[in-house]
Chain A
């Protein structure tokens, strides 16, 4: 089949299974509790909603550039990738195994956060995932998050991402606690016009997150680029100790002091010294990286 742009294969558009297939070394993937095990959510029937056999997350093991890793991929199209009891428990179990095995983990985020139909179970699952992530990191395990899915990475999902040892994002990736519609619903359209897509991306999109040091690597919306990004992120340190957290505290305080009164992403970028901040969203990846690598706030190892 002819591919129009043979060099690019969109990560954003791929399914969770498709992303894993392109991320890992060919043939290396083994799924745990796959769809044939039928461990789906017991709570959706109450709402006359269909379940998905893997509950919207695929967990397993494989190799990435020869290196064994545990992987989890959320399917953003099933209930917006929302985290429920089973979905969450699969990720928790994987992270606990990672701690015991001292095996690095790659999480392919694509989630709107807690699944409302099982909100309490989902909320608690996120807390358990966070604890399991941190416990694993304490053992030197790297937990790498990839952010470029359709549903973005919102709500509790964004807090899990915030506990990863390294994050890789594409321009399409969005990382934020409250989504645009949630802010608009609660605080009004004056606070946030969720239909203004450019505003959404200036506030929580991949380029902004990379520029302020909220993530470590910025890649093209391309499966091969995410693979390369994940390999690079796995080279970053896993350390999570007092020094790292003290450095993160200083880093975040510096961010607030430097940009805390900025009204818009473009103002933040201007303060970073970006010459034409309004033009940043239209830059292609290489042009953006040329500017961003010189001007951005780095996260260093303070994560």
Chain B
């Protein structure tokens, strides 16, 4: 789905979301009583220090507002921008800052919902979609940590071998189904139903602690993480 269609399906009561420089900003209404703040990264943009700071700035000002309007983060990005300048300026700090801003908004009472409708990869994925309190996706979304050809180069395995291995496990290969199976994504929405209803339904659920490892176990894509984390936690508490 394209951003314009997504926004009109989300906000039948209207929205003022605009795009500039690969970033989205504005707000919409699920219904007259329910305003939603919107930020986003679109058009496969590779976020660098400038984009990350601009997004974080908007999110922090939303977090600072006393109301509890949800914050929707639309994501169709590349990976982080790979450049000498971005690293010179401390891209790791800015991307972490963006993730912290999203966490802060959630903590301040604004539900943060990531809506992955296109691509996202590597550090950009961590600092945007994965840093939201809840992450949903639309079919056709294509999250990846690294594409298979690059992975073939690094692992020195042929693309054929890698593709064959990918068929047997969701743990390393790109794509929505694989990320869903590992627990990254709460729900995959149905594009043929009104998105506003699906968002309302999501907002009606309560979000508690990070349950993604549990989903990974249920869905069979990440079966050890939950138990390992729990065991370390138990041992630490037992030790005192």
Interface contact A85-B224, CB-CB below 8 Å? yes
Which chain A residues border B57 with CB–CB below 8 Å? 249, 253
Judge whether A123 and B125 touch: CB under 8 Å.
Answer: yes
Is A50 an interface position by the 8 A CB rule?
A: no
Map CB proximity to A onto B198-240 as digits: 1 under 8 Å, 0 otherwise: 0000000000001011001000011111101111110111011
Q: Are B172 and A119 in contact, CB atoms less than 8 angstroms apart? A: yes
A256-268: CB near B (< 8 Å → 1, else 0) gives 1001101011001
- Chain A interface residue count, Cβ-Cβ cutoff 8 angstroms: 87
* A187 CB within 8 Å of chain B: yes
User: What's the minimum C-beta distance from A91 to chain B, rounded to whole angstroms?
Assistant: 8
Interface check A92, CB cutoff 8 A: yes
Taking a contact as CB atoms under 8 Å apart, the answer to whether B228 and A89 are in contact is yes
A240 at the interface (CB under 8 A from B): yes
A294 to B230: give the CA distance in the assembly, Å.
Answer: 46
User: Which secondary structure characterizes the binding site on chain B?
Assistant: helix
State in angstroms the CA–CA spacing of A259 and B50 once bound together. 12
**A128 and B210 contacting across the interface, CB-CB below 8 Å:** yes
5 pairs, A vs B, C-beta closer than 8 Å: A92-B225, A120-B171, A123-B122, A161-B96, A245-B97
* Extra 16 A-B pairs, beta carbons < 8 Å, given A33-B228, A89-B232, A187-B83: A32-B239, A43-B172, A47-B155, A103-B236, A119-B171, A119-B172, A120-B145, A120-B171, A120-B179, A124-B225, A127-B131, A163-B99, A178-B82, A178-B87, A186-B82, A191-B83
Residue positions of B touching A, CB distance < 8 A: 49-50, 53, 56-57, 60, 63-64, 80, 82-97, 99-101, 103-104, 107-108, 122-123, 125-127, 130-131, 145-146, 150-151, 153-155, 157, 165, 168-173, 178-179, 182-184, 210, 212-213, 216, 221-226, 228-233, 235-237, 239-240
